[in-house]
Amino acid sequence: MRISPIVSMRKLLKVSTCCLLGAGLTAGAAMAEDLSTMSKDPSQWVIPLGNYASQRYSALTQISTTTAKNLHPVWTFSTGVLRGHEGGPLVIGNMMYLSTPFPNTVFALDLNQNGRIVWKYTPSQNSDVIPVMCCDTVNRGVAYGDGKIFLHQADTTLVALNAETGKVEWSVKDGDATKGETGTSAPLVVKDKVLVGISGGEFGIQGRMTAYNIADGKLAWKAYTSGPDDAIKFDPEHTTSMGKPVGANSSLKTWKGDQWKNGGGGTWGWISYDPALNLVYYGSGNPGTWNPTQRPGDNKWSMTVFARDLDTGTAKWVYQMTPHDQWDYDGVNEMILADVPVHGNLTKALVHFDRNGFAYVLDRTNGKLLEAEKYDPAVNWASKVDLTTGVPKVQTAYAPGDQGADHNTKNVCPAALGSKDEQPSAYSPKTHVFYVPTNHVCMDYEPFKVSYTAGQPFVGATLSMYPPKGENNLGNFIAYDVDNGKVLWTNHETFSVWSGALATAGGVVVYGTLDGNLKVVDQKNGKLLYSFKTPSGIIGNINTFEHDGKQYLAVLSGVGGWAGIGMAAGLTEDNAGLGAVGAYKSLSNYTQLGGVLTVFGLSN
């Protein structure tokens, strides 16, 4: 639906010559440069995680350790949608763009008018997709590029909207929701392509990353998580793992029969890109089913970091973090690209805080594993990761598959939702420190036999979750140093910190809590500088921008997501919601549903 804009979009967008030229081109290599350049302008927020390196860092300094106490909301905007609001708003010129959970309405808001709606777009989608969306009906935001806003709908349609008018320029169906394939992730625009992952690991989908041409939505390449080499776009001689060529059929030979066809490996997390290497990085999720006794083998390349050539999709290197998963430790969390000291050596690193509780540091040029340390002391499923083989040393007592079929394995840490889930970390290139929102949850895990039926849950395990023994906080916000592989400081939080963090040159880190508080803390020690109780629990990411010379923070409230699924979907039984409902049941004493954007600024 188009609403007449009040002022010319050219004025609204306030884009520089470089970008208008870029927007004028129908496609072309110029685009990557445009977004790279635009993302260096800290007044805007043009890429879902702030920049291609997924650092969620801003060079803005007005909001600082000394001024944070003067923050307050300056305007707010209800999205009109309940359930979980993940992701965060983009800011392009004077416009803000955000998307909602199903029905995935996209709003274009005018920053010159306190968020007056310039246009909105609500796709027509069959609501049958709702029950096949695992862990709430979230959408993690839109992408911008080539004068278009890209939305990955719940029903997997990727739609390109004219950024000025909201008019549909093209759309393409990326998957089949009747088979449990759904869209929840933010696309990433690089050069002439838009990349999009897929959700559905709990429905036995075949995960893949897909690149479409931004000009017309035509398929550029598609690379599966599991399957034959051509399907997974592996070059047996040149695609490497732990520094060695993977060889032929590296995926097929790790599955029993054709189980890879329902092998999961969703790609619903965040995507990063290194312009110098022309590589895109992302992770794959859990293998199907969750019952490991039904699924022998390493189940490659589930639970894997992928580095793929942007132009061709061919994998340069891979690293599987959790072979033969027995815990649902999806490997999809953000891949942070940072040139950072690791054991004293400045390194072109990829840093990844995995669901399995290990913080992985790899050489992003070649996939070599440099470090893998626990970032939550509760982690017990593995004692360590062998840096030579890359293989974790599994603790059998906490391995449901090793305990035999139908055994209820107790006190496994972390729980299935991991020491961290999709909530993206922040990294400051000034401090070289990573600021990480975490979960602090353990579980009982009881596998049961399940058969595959298209579009039906392919889970095969019953879970219950709770805090580690003797503790009562379900989350922490931590600062982490990869140089020494150590946690620098920890802020305990009542619930999982399910919000994306922001680090700035002002010396602050900002995150939100599941009970609804936006918190600004000191990068040095985590000390609270400012807190505000937003309308609902925060599972969105805090983004920042500058408008008319002033710095602002923007965050979506709206409790939900996996940790909030009990409230979001109205579940009441402890074992519903894949085990999350029980652990988080007191959440409703603190906050209620409701999607609201809050924009914060400094007092004059």
Which residues are annotated as catalytic? Answer: 328
Spatial separation of the C-alpha atoms in residues 13 and 353, rounded to whole Å:
35
From residue 66, alpha-carbon distances to 478, 507, 598 in Å are 21, 9, 22
Contact range with its own copies by CB under 8 A, out of 73-81, 346-354, 436-444, 494-502? 73-81
Residue 167 or 393 having the CB closest to its own copies: 167
**Residue 117 tokens, joined:** 């709606």
594 binds its own copies (CB under 8 A): yes
DSSP 418: -
Residue 80 or 582 having the CB closest to its own copies: 80
112 binds its own copies (CB under 8 A): no
466 binds its own copies (CB under 8 A): no
400 binds its own copies (CB under 8 A): no
Residue 418: name the closest of 482, 375, 479 by CA. 375
596 binds its own copies (CB under 8 A): yes
User: Can you tell me which of 14, 62, 80, 176 binds its own copies, judged by CB under 8 A?
Assistant: 80
In this structure, is the dihedral angle defined by the CA atoms of residues 575, 493, 538 and 52, taken in order, positive or negative? negative
590 binds its own copies (CB under 8 A): yes
- Closest approach, Cβ 192 to its own copies, in A, equals 34
Spatial separation of the C-alpha atoms in residues 515 and 6, rounded to whole Å:
37
Q: What are phi and psi of 262, to 5 degrees?
A: -120, 35
- Which H helix or E strand runs over 427? strand 426-428
3 binds its own copies (CB under 8 A): yes
- Closest approach, Cβ 166 to its own copies, in A, equals 12
Contact range with its own copies by CB under 8 A, out of 72-80, 299-307, 314-322, 455-463? 72-80
- Closest approach, Cβ 82 to its own copies, in A, equals 7
Contact range with its own copies by CB under 8 A, out of 59-67, 111-119, 441-449, 473-481? 111-119
CB distance 143 to 150 below 8 Å: yes
- Closest approach, Cβ 495 to its own copies, in A, equals 13
User: Can you tell me which of 536, 541, 543, 551 binds its own copies, judged by CB under 8 A?
Assistant: 536
Residue 19 or 602 having the CB closest to its own copies: 602
Contact range with its own copies by CB under 8 A, out of 113-121, 215-223, 245-253, 289-297? 113-121
Q: What are phi and psi of 42, to 5 degrees?
A: -70, -5
67 binds its own copies (CB under 8 A): no
218 binds its own copies (CB under 8 A): no
108 binds its own copies (CB under 8 A): no
77 binds its own copies (CB under 8 A): yes
Contact range with its own copies by CB under 8 A, out of 14-22, 77-85, 303-311, 519-527? 77-85
How many residues lie near its own copies (CB under 8 A)? Answer: 33
User: Can you tell me which of 299, 534, 541, 543 binds its own copies, judged by CB under 8 A?
Assistant: 534
Contact range with its own copies by CB under 8 A, out of 30-38, 59-67, 188-196, 530-538? 530-538
388 binds its own copies (CB under 8 A): no
Residue 193 or 519 having the CB closest to its own copies: 519
- Closest approach, Cβ 109 to its own copies, in A, equals 11
Residue 546: name the closest of 56, 113, 43 by CA. 43
Contact range with its own copies by CB under 8 A, out of 35-43, 112-120, 219-227, 291-299? 112-120
Residue 113 or 171 having the CB closest to its own copies: 113
- Closest approach, Cβ 565 to its own copies, in A, equals 15
- Strand, coil or helix: what is 165? coil
- Closest approach, Cβ 401 to its own copies, in A, equals 39
SS (H, E, C) 305-344: EEEEECCCCCEEEEEECCCCCCCCCCCCCCCEEEEEEECC
User: Can you tell me which of 82, 450, 505, 554 binds its own copies, judged by CB under 8 A?
Assistant: 82
Count of helices and strands (H, E) across the chain: 6, 40
User: Can you tell me which of 116, 407, 432, 524 binds its own copies, judged by CB under 8 A?
Assistant: 116
CB distance 488 to 580 below 8 Å: no
Residue 280 or 593 having the CB closest to its own copies: 593
Spatial separation of the C-alpha atoms in residues 72 and 227, rounded to whole Å:
52
CB distance 597 to 76 below 8 Å: yes
- Extract the runs of DSSP E, i.e. beta strands, from 106-201: 106-110, 116-121, 143-145, 148-152, 157-162, 168-173, 188-190, 193-196
Indicate the residue type of 94.
Answer: N
520 binds its own copies (CB under 8 A): no
73 binds its own copies (CB under 8 A): yes
User: Can you tell me which of 348, 532, 546, 575 binds its own copies, judged by CB under 8 A?
Assistant: 532
**Residue 461 tokens, joined:** 């395990």
Residue 61 or 76 having the CB closest to its own copies: 76
DSSP 229: H
Judging by beta carbons within 10 Å of its beta carbon (0-12, 13-18, 19+), is residue 315 exposed, middle or buried? buried
Judging by beta carbons within 10 Å of its beta carbon (0-12, 13-18, 19+), is residue 256 exposed, middle or buried? exposed
Helices 17-24 and 30-40: crossing angle in degrees, nearest 10, is 150
SS (H, E, C) 63-106: CCCCCHHHEEEEEEEECCCCCCCCCCCEEECCEEEEECCCCCCE
Residue 396 or 586 having the CB closest to its own copies: 586
Binding positions for its own copies, 544-583, rule CB under 8 A = 557
User: Can you tell me which of 78, 126, 396, 451 binds its own copies, judged by CB under 8 A?
Assistant: 78
Contact range with its own copies by CB under 8 A, out of 40-48, 70-78, 247-255, 488-496? 70-78
166 binds its own copies (CB under 8 A): no
Which residues are CB-neighbours of 131 under 8 A, at least 6 positions away? none
589 binds its own copies (CB under 8 A): yes
**Residue 364 tokens, joined:** 């992003």
115 binds its own copies (CB under 8 A): yes
603 binds its own copies (CB under 8 A): yes
Spatial separation of the C-alpha atoms in residues 557 and 536, rounded to whole Å:
5
CB atoms within 10 A of CB 131: 12
Residue ranges that bind its own copies, judged by CB under 8 A: 3, 72-73, 75-80, 82, 114-117, 120, 532-536, 557, 588-598, 603
